[in-house]
Amino acid sequence: MRDPIYFRRFDYDRRLIPNEHLRTLELGVADLDRAQERTGWTVGYPGWGLLYYVLLSHLSWDRANTIIETGTNWGASTIVLAQALVDAGVEGHVHTFELRPEFAMIARDNLDKAGLGKHVTIHVGNSLERLPRVLEDLRAVRVAFLDGSHEHDDVMMEFETILTKLEPNGFVMFDNTYPLTDPSKGEPARVAAALETIKARHGGNIVNFESVSWYTPGMAIWQPKFQA
């Protein structure tokens, strides 16, 4: 396994964060330990900015947007996703999945304090089990952010479940894409290997942003062949 690495920033203007409550949580945070105390195991800045602006630039204006997130954690990235919906002035809703009930409670509190509670539904439980049932009641998915389990098979199961409802011009975003492990050496396959599997099975386009997020760094976007 490669040495740990992260690209979470602390020397930035907090006004760049799109939500006041999240800005408040980040005040005085100058290292990773303090960040984890305030916002949990989140992508941090500039990952929040990447999520926000990519989503803001891709929302549909003529129909409701469904956004899926796995791995709610304490709700920091969920806040960013929901804020993009609000700031775009479009219809839509975020469905987020969190395995641990205690984390879901923290996330709900953060979302309410951020003024975004009505825009988000938190589904508590294993996303591998709950996601297919939730998708049955949804028309289509515009964007998904997969940040729950980072094991290859779990990532693939989430991705291929989402794919059944993904809009033709929708996309799926992944966190922790750095090739931390080497499956050829018997180390567990993770997100980087899943992206290779996705490309082989489903084609499409992948853009990887290496210098963002924390250990494991990297965020990537997959989109099927573009349809105008």
Domains and CATH numbers, the chain: 14-223 (3.40.50.150)
Q: 50, 18 in Cβ contact below 8 A?
A: no
The predicted-structure confidence for 185-201, as pLDDT tens digits, reads as follows: 889 999 999 999 999 99
Residues 6+ apart with CB under 8 A from 178: 2, 5, 192, 210, 216, 217, 218
154, two tokens:
């779990």
Cα angle at 227 between 226 and 228, to 5 degrees?
Answer: 115
The predicted-structure confidence for 143-200, as pLDDT tens digits, reads as follows: 999 999 999 999 999 999 999 999 999 999 999 999 988 888 889 999 999 999 999 9
pTM of the model: 0.96
Give the separation between CA 59 and CA 142, rounded to whole angstroms. Answer: 7
Burial of 186 (0-12, 13-18, 19+ CB in 10 A): exposed
Give the separation between CA 217 and CA 164, rounded to whole angstroms. Answer: 28
Q: 180, 201 in Cβ contact below 8 A?
A: no
Per-residue pLDDT tens digits of the chain, which is 228 residues long = 887 788 999 999 999 999 999 999 999 999 999 999 999 999 999 999 999 999 999 999 999 999 999 999 999 999 999 999 999 999 999 999 999 999 999 999 999 999 999 999 999 999 999 999 999 999 999 999 999 999 999 999 999 999 999 999 999 999 999 998 888 888 999 999 999 999 999 999 999 999 999 889 999 999 998 665
194, two tokens:
């899943």
